Amino acid sequence: MSLLELENVSKSYRIGRRVSLAVEDITLGIDPGEIVGLVGESGSGKSTLARLALRLLLPDSGEIRFAGRNLAGLGGAELASFRRRVQIVFQDPLAALNPRATVRRLIEEPLRLHRIVPPGEIEAEIRRLMELAGLPAAYAERRPRQISGGERQRVAVLRALACRPEILVCDEPVAALDVSVRAQILNLLLALKRSTGLGILFISHDLAVVRRIADRLTVMHRGRIVERGPSETVWQAPTHPYTQALLAAVPLGEPGAGRRRRSSQPTAIA
């Protein structure tokens, strides 16, 4: 049993009379201290799965459990506790952060909302968190538009971390960042996993990024999981044609790719 688990979960969207199945029969678990990478092309159902895991959507069938409790049945104090213990970081921090709030206020909000520390310790906790993410203390007075994209994403991560979550869902957290800034965020997530035992569901369409950070890889294609396994195994010896095609799309010069080209061409995507 995993801390966060999805069991045979399906979800479809209805637009007018049309029904499209976005997530189909997914079973997946995330434990403290591990990073599970979820890769797949645009439209494969990754964000839908993230929203289900956060109980922003309810599944049509199947069950999602946190600490053994079905999310569909949570209410009151239990739901509030779940809302603290499972956090999300989105791709676009500019959209996710209130543009008028200073960095201090953005971090202070969740600290107060969930009463993480006594009021007298809030200032020190903000400083501690900013230091953890390598943000200069003076940035506390800046607003989202007055810092760089990478710094903004670090603030978004800190807002989530302020809640002292057990699971963090990252939906394309570095897709909008350039390579060097991307590495800073990935290193921060890896350090957090090691120091706090945070479990992370890391979603990306970029297999090379996910491989760097994830302990296990899960590949989605058209709403279904088509491959899963330890990152290195999937990377070195992908079995599904779709995974092989994803790997073939990784540029040869990708830093840290370190994988020999296979001579055989990937078969066409089904």
Ligand X SMILES: Nc1ncnc2c1ncn2[C@@H]1O[C@H](COP(=O)(O)OP(=O)(O)OP(=O)(O)O)[C@@H](O)[C@H]1O
Positions touching ligand X (CB under 6 A) are 13, 15, 20, 22, 40, 42-48, 205
Pick 47 or 87: Cβ nearer Mg ion = 47
Could you tell me where the DSSP H helices lie in the chain? 46-53, 76-85, 93-96, 103-113, 122-132, 149-161, 179-196, 207-213, 231-236, 241-248
Closest distance to ligand X from the beta carbon of 226 (Å):
13
Closest distance to ligand X from the beta carbon of 156 (Å):
17
Pick 117 or 176: Cβ nearer Mg ion = 176
What does 40 interact with, of ligand X, Mg ion, none (CB < 5 to 8 A by kind)?
A: ligand X
Question: CA 85 → CA 61, 76, 263, distances in Å?
Answer: 24, 15, 46
Closest distance to ligand X from the beta carbon of 87 (Å):
18
Triad 259, 27, 76: Cα angle to 5°? 125
| Residues engaged in binding Mg ion (CB under 5 A) | 47
Pick 140 or 218: Cβ nearer ligand X = 218
Q: Whole-angstrom Cα distance, residue 238 to residue 7?
A: 24
Q: What does the block give as tokens for 254?
A: 């990708």
Closest distance to Mg ion from the beta carbon of 49 (Å):
9
Q: Three-state DSSP class for 247?
A: helix
Closest distance to Mg ion from the beta carbon of 61 (Å):
22
Q: What does the block give as tokens for 99?
A: 């543009």
Pick 41 or 63: Cβ nearer Mg ion = 41
Cβ neighbour number for residue 78 with a 10 Å cutoff: 14
What does 44 interact with, of Mg ion, ligand X, none (CB < 5 to 8 A by kind)?
A: ligand X
Pick 64 or 103: Cβ nearer ligand X = 64
Q: Which of 198, 62, 11 is nearest to 71 (CA)?
A: 62
